[in-house]
Structure 1
Amino acid sequence: MNNEFNLTVIGGGPGGYAAAIRASQLGLKVALVEEAELGGTCLNRGCIPTKSLLHSSELYSMTRHFSEFGIEIKDLAFNYTKAASKKDAVVKQLRRGVEALVKNSGCCIFAGRGLIKSTHTVEVTGKDHRIITTDNIIIATGSMPSIPPIPGIESARVLVSDDVLNLKECPEKVVIIGGGVIGMEFATIFNALGKAVTVVEMTGTILSGVDVEISEICRKIIERKGVAIFTESKVMSLKSDSGTICIFENNGTEMGIEADMVIVAAGRKPKTEGIGLENIGILTEQGFINVNERMETSIKGIYAIGDITGKPMLAHVATAQGLVVASNAAGKDKIMNYSVIPACIYTNPEIATVGLTEAEALKKGLSIKIGRFPISANGKSIIMGEKEGLAKLIADADTGEILGAHIIGPRATDMIAEICIAMKLESTIEEVADTIHPHPSISEIIMEAAHDIEGLCIHKPGK
């Protein structure tokens, strides 16, 4: 095989494989180097398997309310082993799909680690060992769980997200260190299965970065379901005996929670070690690779995408970055636009956001108007038995420009795309309000919230 390529992609995650396929579509000869499985963390150890377990646990949780809908079920039980098998089957199916897409595009796939030897040379170490000569390189090696230096963490039964997804049995008592997206999604899974869950978060709120009004609603709902949440709490140590005791400080008081398992969900760090960055002198900052709006590093012809860039660590961001790089490597000129990036959190209820939060808009000194509409006033939600949540839209008070949208409720992660398109097309909040939405549908909450910005909402209670 000829080992000369126009583009070599190191890492086959959502950004890497998308870049490889698009570059092939644009006529480049492409090599894709992956040391584990195509699909990266998202498909194999993150987004997809987590959502599969979330769906299984939510279905089980829903059965507790089936009698309200006239459905009587006796002797119902949850089989975690089967749910894990379902999760594995979903991952396997999607991974095979990605492999087929990459191969059918004409890319050459090499199994092994990509080691950058020079600006135009990559060594594949491992199964498909070879030296590749290449015009351009994309670094797409992703990230890994970050483990804080907590005394006793080495000897305690502590798992990171990768490990949790490999469990075949469900623990009865779980302590989760970190109340961010990963932590709260795992809290949702185990709580839905009836397990004792405690979340310990260092900052003053769960889901830091989410609009405060939305995160507070989420906290109240999840606490009402039985999850114990301690914010402004620092984990001091972990002690192992028959189980694991998590010692933490809350408001000056030392507390201890016993658990069968402790999950560390304290963020992620870039995977940049061992890929040869030192051989070419790429500039990094706190481990992340510096890139410009074209995703170029400090070295001409070498690009970086995904989690290693320090940009929003989201699969869809990595994919968008990959498409930008593929075009640039093919001689076009594209830049990455971060102005409209949705973020989704698969708690129950779901959360979806895009644009500025209320606090961010006010900090920028913007004059804003806010529209709100409660899930409890939406007909389709009531039919479904989903009565908690909110749609919140933020617009410029003078121009009607949509500045942000924040939704907590059923199918929030699907509905946010409507606002993303509106923002991308520079639609005004009035245009969203005037768009006829189907009835009955949950999507009506967006239209209603848009009307509420001008105080003209028809179905909002409490006026």
Structure 2
Amino acid sequence: MAVTITMPKLGLTMTEGTVSSWSKKAGDPVSEGDVLFVVSTDKLTYEVKAECDGILASVLVAEGDDAPVAATVAIIAEPGEDPASLAESAPAPAPSKTADKDEPIETTSPAASSIQESDRGGKKVVVIGGGPGGYVCAIKLAQLGASVTVVEKERMGGTCLNWGCIPTKVLVHTAELYHETINGSDLGLIVKDASVDWAALMTRKTGVVDQLVGGVEGLMVANGIDVVYGEASFVSSRSLKIGNDTLEFDAAVVATGSETVIPPIPGVDLPGIVTSKEALSFDSVPKSMTVVGGGVIGMEFACVYATLGTKVTVVEMLDTVLPPIDREISAIARASMEALGVKFYTSSKVTGFTDKGGKIATSVETPDVPISVESEKVLMSVGRKASTASLNLENAGIRHDRGKITVDRFMATSVPGIYAIGDCCSPIQLAHVASAEGEIAAENVMGESKAMDYKTVPSCVYTMPELASVGLTEAEAVKRGHSIKIGRFPLSANGKSLIMKGYDGLIKFVVDDRYDEILGVHIVGPRATDLIVEGALALRLEATVDEVVTTIHAHPTVGEALAEAALAVNGKAIHMPPS
């Protein structure tokens, strides 16, 4: 049976759209998911895709012509149907409402220069930055009745979706599967000549990113949010300049994120020295790589590339890698990475880089003697800084410390009506923190008085094995004056972890000795980044270990080890001999 393709409704006020281009012509075969045509309105462009396989039997609206919302634009014939007969019986094409076919179509594509004023009522709020902080804030603002415009200089989704969290985890997932495959003999899994198709992996990474970015763009449309592409800078405390245009607002939220810090080390501009952004898109898997910095980003890339066969060396100035993580947990992770072949130099400093004809020599001062490490690539991963240089904060009177915007616990800046969220101001540079701050800021913009609470922020590290943490580490709890008890449960004693080869995993509870209140939960092992949610909820509810213990945990799961670790706080673990 034939399927009609209609003009979609892409916003609350949309009544018609223009077919700006066709990707298929009448008679062409189409597959589910193929782009059929592109719709343009005065606020956006949108790709309409086929929802089934078949033949494009009839095109009813030509390129450049308009059609009302819900009008039939095309007909797809199912396999076996006669496209010619369907075309003959199709309704007449919708009349064109375009006054001048040569008149340019205004869009909110990156090339667009004009800013469309929202035709909705409500408080006019501009959100600068479309990352996980900005787009969540924008949606919350729209839900609360604001007229919202998002200004994004590159792509919706920001660093996280495009060049950070999401594409990195695509590589991590494939690396994990590859590692399981080539080491699967004890699982009864034999795969001869297993290999990674790097080009296919890059294509998959791009596909996942594009799907999620498209989803965010769709959420903007669904919530009636205007999106303007360009770089914003403040003209005053109530107006922005984007390109040659000016945008006035009643309130603003700065959500411009962060960028990689590049320290002034001699030779740091040599070819082959990259940031995490470039490390996601190498032409091929490098034979060797030096990672400068032992933080989360550096360790995730170290694991990925070491698993794929790269000889990886890590140089870290501190005496430990992953310094925010509980020392006991990070030590287990380091040992696992060393088993992958990663070489560590801690308490060491990079002093320079030299071109060695196809390789880069990294000069390192170690606690013993100076050394030189040669590698094909060098990943600079020493931290990130607020990305605010182009905003001209001074024009709005916004207080900042070397670019990092100063905010209070309500996410308010020094200027009434202007807020900031995410990496450009936050004490914790994590995507989920930016999202939470975005919701807080949105509510306060609209007249509430909500404060941000960082007590329950979980940290997740996608190394192999995974690490996750929430609340105080053992050292932090002692430093704050708590008398503490520790509960540990090794995942080697957990059935599901044993099945998953999580032999070295550990769950650790840090608990106040007086009240048995849970102060921190720390996990290394399979599914750690999923399990930490229970720890975050426990801190949110100020739970005691007894409340975790008396919650029935499903079997067989890794999660039941949380209950065992809680029992271990008072020496009552069931599946572990008494100490």
TM-score above 0.5, yes or no:
yes
Paired letter, 1:168? D
Find 1:175's aligned residue among 267, 279, 290.
290
In structure 1, the gaps of 5 or more residues are: none
After superposition, the Cα gap between the structure-2 partners of 1:220 and 1:2, relative to the gap in structure 1 and judged at 3 Å, is closer
Paired residues of 2:319 and 2:347 also in contact (CA < 8 A): yes
Aligned-partner Cα distance in 1 for 2:568–2:168:
35
Deviates more, 1:354-363 or 1:73-82: 73-82
Aligned-partner Cα distance in 2 for 1:455–1:423:
21
Aligned-partner Cα distance in 2 for 1:461–1:181:
34
Aligned-partner Cα distance in 2 for 1:3–1:28:
11
- What does residue 149 of structure 1 align with? 264
Aligned-partner Cα distance in 2 for 1:19–1:193:
38
Deviates more, 1:304-313 or 1:148-157: 148-157
Find 1:239's aligned residue among 338, 347, 354.
354
Paired residues of 2:237 and 2:397 also in contact (CA < 8 A): no
- What does residue 281 of structure 1 align with? 397
Paired residues of 2:303 and 2:340 also in contact (CA < 8 A): no
Aligned pair count reads 460
- What does residue 455 of structure 2 align with? 339
- What does residue 11 of structure 1 align with? 129
Aligned-partner Cα distance in 2 for 1:102–1:66:
44
Paired residues of 1:291 and 1:297 also in contact (CA < 8 A): yes
Paired letter, 1:119? S
1:206 pairs with 2:321: yes
Find 2:477's aligned residue among 361, 382, 397.
361
> Could you report, residue by residue, the CA deviation over 1:296-325 in whole angstroms, capped at 9, with x for unpaired residues?
000000000000114100000000000011
- What does residue 172 of structure 2 align with? 54
Aligned-partner Cα distance in 2 for 1:75–1:339:
48
Give the drift of 1:422: 1.5
Aligned-partner Cα distance in 2 for 1:72–1:283:
60
Would you tell me which structure has more helix in proportion to its own residues?
1
Find 2:529's aligned residue among 388, 394, 413.
413
Give the drift of 1:385: 2.0
Paired residues of 1:377 and 1:461 also in contact (CA < 8 A): no
Paired residues of 1:156 and 1:238 also in contact (CA < 8 A): no
Find 1:370's aligned residue among 477, 486, 489.
486
- The percentage of counterpart residues that share the same residue type is 45
Aligned-partner Cα distance in 1 for 2:315–2:533:
32
Paired letter, 1:58? E
Find 2:412's aligned residue among 258, 282, 296.
296
> Could you report, residue by residue, the CA deviation over 1:78-103 in whole angstroms, capped at 9, with x for unpaired residues?
11221111111110000000000111
Aligned-partner Cα distance in 1 for 2:477–2:193:
51
Give the drift of 1:114: 1.5
- What does residue 43 of structure 1 align with? 161
Find 2:277's aligned residue among 154, 158, 162.
162
Paired residues of 1:393 and 1:405 also in contact (CA < 8 A): yes
Paired letter, 1:217? I
Find 1:184's aligned residue among 295, 299, 322.
299
Give the drift of 1:462: 7.0
Paired letter, 1:192? T
Aligned-partner Cα distance in 1 for 2:203–2:366:
39
Give the drift of 1:286: 3.2
Find 2:201's aligned residue among 73, 83, 101.
83
Give the drift of 1:67: 2.3
Aligned residue runs from structure 1 range 311-460, under 5 A? 311-460=427-576
Paired residues of 1:15 and 1:305 also in contact (CA < 8 A): yes
In structure 2, the gaps of 5 or more residues are: 1-115
Find 1:30's aligned residue among 148, 151, 157.
148
After superposition, the Cα gap between the structure-2 partners of 1:195 and 1:2, relative to the gap in structure 1 and judged at 3 Å, is closer
Aligned-partner Cα distance in 1 for 2:117–2:189:
63
Paired letter, 1:436? I
- What does residue 252 of structure 2 align with? 137
- What does residue 115 of structure 1 align with? 233
Give the drift of 1:282: 1.1
Paired letter, 1:441? T
- What does residue 78 of structure 2 align with? none
Deviates more, 1:216-225 or 1:405-414: 216-225
Give the drift of 1:339: 1.1
- What does residue 248 of structure 1 align with? 364
Provide the secondary structure at the position in 1 that maps to 2:249.
strand
Paired residues of 2:181 and 2:190 also in contact (CA < 8 A): no
Provide the secondary structure at the position in 2 that maps to 1:72.
coil
Aligned-partner Cα distance in 2 for 1:6–1:460:
60
- What does residue 100 of structure 2 align with? none
Aligned-partner Cα distance in 2 for 1:23–1:121:
19
Deviates more, 1:446-455 or 1:217-226: 217-226
Paired letter, 1:452? A
Aligned-partner Cα distance in 2 for 1:462–1:452:
9
- What does residue 215 of structure 1 align with? 330
Paired residues of 1:199 and 1:230 also in contact (CA < 8 A): yes
Aligned-partner Cα distance in 1 for 2:578–2:550:
23
Aligned-partner Cα distance in 2 for 1:460–1:225:
29
Find 1:66's aligned residue among 171, 184, 203.
184
Give the drift of 1:427: 1.6
Paired letter, 1:238? F
Aligned-partner Cα distance in 1 for 2:365–2:436:
41
Provide the secondary structure at the position in 1 that maps to 2:174.
helix
Give the drift of 1:433: 1.2
Give the drift of 1:203: 0.6
Aligned-partner Cα distance in 2 for 1:337–1:309:
15
Paired letter, 2:511? A
Paired residues of 2:118 and 2:226 also in contact (CA < 8 A): no
Give the drift of 1:3: 5.9
- What does residue 89 of structure 2 align with? none
Paired residues of 1:3 and 1:133 also in contact (CA < 8 A): no
Give the drift of 1:411: 0.4
Paired residues of 2:182 and 2:191 also in contact (CA < 8 A): no
> Could you report, residue by residue, the CA deviation over 1:352-391 in whole angstroms, capped at 9, with x for unpaired residues?
0000000000011111111000011100111122211100
Give the drift of 1:120: 1.0
Give the drift of 1:461: 4.5
Give the drift of 1:156: 4.5
Aligned-partner Cα distance in 2 for 1:429–1:296:
36
